[in-house]
Chain A
Amino acid sequence: MKSYSQISGEIGEFSNLPFWKKADTVDLVYVSYGLLIVSLVILSYVLGMFNLMPHDPQALNLDLMMASPGTSGHLLGTDFLGRDMLSRLILGIQAYFLPGLLAIAISLSFGTVLGVLAGYRGGRFDTGITYFTNLVDSFPRLVLILLVIAAFKPDIYYIMIVVGLTNVPVVASLIKGKIHFLRQKNFIEAAVSLGLPTRTIILKHILWHNCRSLFIIQATLGMGEAILIETSLSYLGFGVQEPMPSWGNMVQSGANYFMQGKFWPSTAPALAILFTILGFHLLGDGLNNMLEGKRGR
């Protein structure tokens, strides 16, 4: 039976319009919000890298402790040592941006290799990799991170390597699924029987043409996750250490003054975390719906 949903699905795929024109309005809102956040993050990262901040984020100003937002020169106020909140927020991005990219790079590269091996070679590789990924998945991630911290030192790069490695199974299974789907449609067989070299089939036809949107989506989602892990560990004191600012340790140090009515030192970084992670996730979600069309109708 040809149900209506199938018909409309076909038509959607056959459309000639660029993908942003045929997308749902909701997804467009998601993606534009996400892009806004991402560009803000990148801009702030560059600013922080070249020290282009309204104030020196480390400079103490004991005359102006706990100044409320809007105080002259301090848009978001100052913290308990009189340091400028906005500058510290901007500098806080340094704490997760590069490490987050590292985590993404690790999960995507290892995940792709394993996924291609499992999906393309199949058989024993598939069985082995499935067992391996199940094993990785069954470790509680936080415990693993704490183990690494205990064994080495509380360095954010070590933590992000763990985050990247624990994300490998997700990427691997997605790539494997994609390859299985292509195989089912005899797409890979057709390429093989044409005589194309295996390298071309995997790199060009599978990864470049059919998996690139998947990479973008996984990268945005991975970044959101990296931020979450970094900030929560810094909050607990395992991540970035004072006096280097991280949104996590800013929330933590500001929290002591929350009950005294001085809400901004903790609320500002907390909101920054919320909006940023939301941005990355919505971007990933919106792109997923637009590029892969997975919205369940």
Chain B
Amino acid sequence: MAKTILEVVDLKKHFTARKTLLSAFKEQERSIPAVDGVSFYLKENETVGLVGESGCGKTTIGRTILRLEKPTAGKILFDGKDVTAMPSEELRKLRSEMQMIFQDLDAALNPKMRIRDILREAIKVHHDITDEEIDGRIGELLEQVNLKRSKLSNFPHELSGGEKRRVGIARVLSVGARFIIADEPTSALDVSIQAQVVNLLRDLQKHLGLSYLFISHDLRVVELISHKVAVMYLGKVVEMGLAGRIATAPRHPYTHILWSSLVGKQSKEASSAVRNVQSGIWGVFDFERAYAGCRFAPRCPVYESKEYPRVCTDPASEPQLRDVGDGHQVACHFPL
């Protein structure tokens, strides 16, 4: 049984609107619950996919785990140690094991530094080694991410998108990361390059035993690369389980809509309830709208087809994740 490497318990991150002098006089601050009580865990050598529409809080989760944002509440246990309460020097050390691939290709690349220096700097952060050893390590990294040695003396702007992504991955590996948060690693790339990167990430996992938290809105890629998938809606995980089951036999209406919305993919196991009523899905998707009970109710076809049951909008009974067998969890009063 593989070891649990990361455990997130009831994580909350609320953003407050920027404080001004005036807001001190107001009674309430506006707060946006970007992440609102999320729990999941990740085992070694495993990939968990995090999907959802833009603005559902999936990127915030990644940033909070790395402590780029301070969580409002909840615990993040990495290797059993609580990241949320860690002093900054210890956190800095921990970051050699926990890394993030950013959506922006240029994020990891200082435009004024050559690729060699970028990698050298990254290696030196956590390892006190000689220059020859560093060169050896750089060669090793290049081989791992399949990048030509000649690129080392280039500046970032001389590289193509795919090569920039490879350098970004090499930088993440150079510190010796075991757990990588990949935030939309392919969305800034062309289709033909995306496939290269997906293959590379899987190769690395196989050879180095990495664990990924794979954040993406590209459902096909998530389904392909992940072992488990968590589906988020408005800051909450609404369904979680094995990738294949989430994709082919979803229990939450939102997951179902998400997957059947893959253009061109015929929804095979669509329950009649969903197939008949699909009108309400144009609905607005934002945190500003008030809701009570289930967050998805205003857009939910099941809610509509069951003629608006009270329990869905009862503030006292927001559906919680519960097990429906085989580690498949769903937060819905009327799972499909």
Q: Are A and B direct contacts in the complex by CB distance below 8 Å?
A: yes
Chain A residues within CB distance 8 Å of chain B: 13-14, 16, 127, 185-187, 189-190, 192-197, 205, 209-210
16 contacts between A and B (CB under 8 A): A127-B20, A187-B106, A187-B110, A189-B102, A190-B107, A190-B108, A193-B68, A194-B175, A195-B93, A195-B125, A195-B126, A196-B121, A197-B92, A209-B110, A209-B112, A209-B113
Q: Are A189 and B158 in contact (CB under 8 A)?
A: no
Q: Which residues of B contact A186 (CB under 8 A)?
A: 102-104, 107
Kindly provide the distance from the CB of A250 to the nearest chain B CB, expressed in whole angstroms: 44
A189/B93 contact (C-beta < 8 A), A127-B19, A194-B125 known: no
B99 lies within 8 A of chain A by Cβ: yes
Kindly provide the distance from the CB of B265 to the nearest chain A CB, expressed in whole angstroms: 29
Residue of A nearest to B125 (CB): A195
B157 lies within 8 A of chain A by Cβ: yes
Q: Are A185 and B125 in contact (CB under 8 A)?
A: no
A194/B99 contact (C-beta < 8 A), A13-B157, A14-B158, A16-B158 known: yes
Q: Which residues of B contact A210 (CB under 8 A)?
A: 112
Q: Which residues of B contact A14 (CB under 8 A)?
A: 157-158
Q: Which of B96, B102, B171 has the most CB of A within 10 A?
A: B102
Q: Which residues of B contact A185 (CB under 8 A)?
A: 104, 106-107
B66 lies within 8 A of chain A by Cβ: yes
Q: Which residues of B contact A197 (CB under 8 A)?
A: 92
In the complex the two chains form, what is the Cα distance from A16 to B155 in whole Å? 9
Residue of B nearest to A15 (CB): B157
- A-B interface, 9 closest residue pairs, ranked by CB to CB distance from nearest: A186-B107, A195-B95, A190-B107, A209-B112, A190-B108, A186-B102, A186-B104, A195-B92, A195-B125
Segment 50-74 of B: residues with Cβ below 8 Å from A: 63, 66, 68
Q: How many interface residues does chain B have, given as a range?
A: 20 to 34
Q: Which residues of A contact B66 (CB under 8 A)?
A: 193
In the complex the two chains form, what is the Cα distance from A185 to B102 in whole Å? 9
Q: Which of A16, A190, A197, A205 has the most CB of B within 10 A?
A: A190
Q: Which residues of A contact B96 (CB under 8 A)?
A: 195
Q: Which residues of A contact B113 (CB under 8 A)?
A: 209
A193/B112 contact (C-beta < 8 A), A14-B158, A185-B107 known: no
Q: Are A189 and B107 in contact (CB under 8 A)?
A: yes
Q: Which residues of B contact A195 (CB under 8 A)?
A: 92-93, 95-96, 125-126, 175
Q: Which residues of A contact B106 (CB under 8 A)?
A: 185, 187
In the complex the two chains form, what is the Cα distance from A209 to B125 in whole Å? 18
Segment 294-328 of B: residues with Cβ below 8 Å from A: none
In the complex the two chains form, what is the Cα distance from A189 to B98 in whole Å? 13
In the complex the two chains form, what is the Cα distance from A101 to B93 in whole Å? 42
In the complex the two chains form, what is the Cα distance from A205 to B125 in whole Å? 14
Beyond A186-B107, A195-B125, 17 additional contacts (C-beta under 8 Å) are: A13-B157, A14-B157, A16-B158, A127-B20, A185-B106, A186-B102, A186-B103, A187-B106, A189-B68, A189-B107, A193-B66, A193-B68, A194-B95, A194-B122, A194-B175, A205-B110, A209-B113
B213 lies within 8 A of chain A by Cβ: no
Contact with A along B76-89 (1 / 0, CB 8 A): 00000000000000
Kindly provide the distance from the CB of A216 to the nearest chain B CB, expressed in whole angstroms: 14
The residue that B63 contacts in the complex, of A13, A16, A189, A209, with Cβ under 8 A, is: A189
In the complex the two chains form, what is the Cα distance from A185 to B168 in whole Å? 14
B100 lies within 8 A of chain A by Cβ: yes
Q: Which residues of B contact A187 (CB under 8 A)?
A: 106-107, 110
In the complex the two chains form, what is the Cα distance from A122 to B297 in whole Å? 38
A196/B158 contact (C-beta < 8 A), A127-B19, A190-B108, A210-B112 known: no
Kindly provide the distance from the CB of B1 to the nearest chain A CB, expressed in whole angstroms: 30
Q: Are A190 and B102 in contact (CB under 8 A)?
A: yes
Q: Which residues of A contact B68 (CB under 8 A)?
A: 189, 192-193
Kindly provide the distance from the CB of A161 to the nearest chain B CB, expressed in whole angstroms: 31
Kindly provide the distance from the CB of B254 to the nearest chain A CB, expressed in whole angstroms: 28
Contact with A along B1-28 (1 / 0, CB 8 A): 0000000000000000001100000000
Q: Which residues of A contact B121 (CB under 8 A)?
A: 196
Q: Are A190 and B100 in contact (CB under 8 A)?
A: yes
Kindly provide the distance from the CB of A40 to the nearest chain B CB, expressed in whole angstroms: 31
Q: Which residues of B contact A189 (CB under 8 A)?
A: 63, 68, 100, 102, 107
In the complex the two chains form, what is the Cα distance from A195 to B121 in whole Å? 11
Kindly provide the distance from the CB of B188 to the nearest chain A CB, expressed in whole angstroms: 11
In the complex the two chains form, what is the Cα distance from A186 to B112 in whole Å? 16
Residue of B nearest to A192 (CB): B68
In the complex the two chains form, what is the Cα distance from A187 to B107 in whole Å? 4
Q: Which residues of A contact B107 (CB under 8 A)?
A: 185-187, 189-190
Kindly provide the distance from the CB of A171 to the nearest chain B CB, expressed in whole angstroms: 20
Q: Which residues of A contact B63 (CB under 8 A)?
A: 189
Residue of B nearest to A196 (CB): B125
Residue of B nearest to A210 (CB): B112
Kindly provide the distance from the CB of A22 to the nearest chain B CB, expressed in whole angstroms: 13
Kindly provide the distance from the CB of A97 to the nearest chain B CB, expressed in whole angstroms: 31
Kindly provide the distance from the CB of A211 to the nearest chain B CB, expressed in whole angstroms: 11
Q: Which residues of A contact B20 (CB under 8 A)?
A: 127
Kindly provide the distance from the CB of A201 to the nearest chain B CB, expressed in whole angstroms: 10
The residue that B100 contacts in the complex, of A16, A127, A193, with Cβ under 8 A, is: A193
Q: Which residues of A contact B99 (CB under 8 A)?
A: 193-194
In the complex the two chains form, what is the Cα distance from A210 to B106 in whole Å? 14
Contact with A along B104-135 (1 / 0, CB 8 A): 10111011110000000110011000000000
Q: Which residues of B contact A194 (CB under 8 A)?
A: 95, 99, 108, 122, 125, 171, 175
In the complex the two chains form, what is the Cα distance from A139 to B102 in whole Å? 44
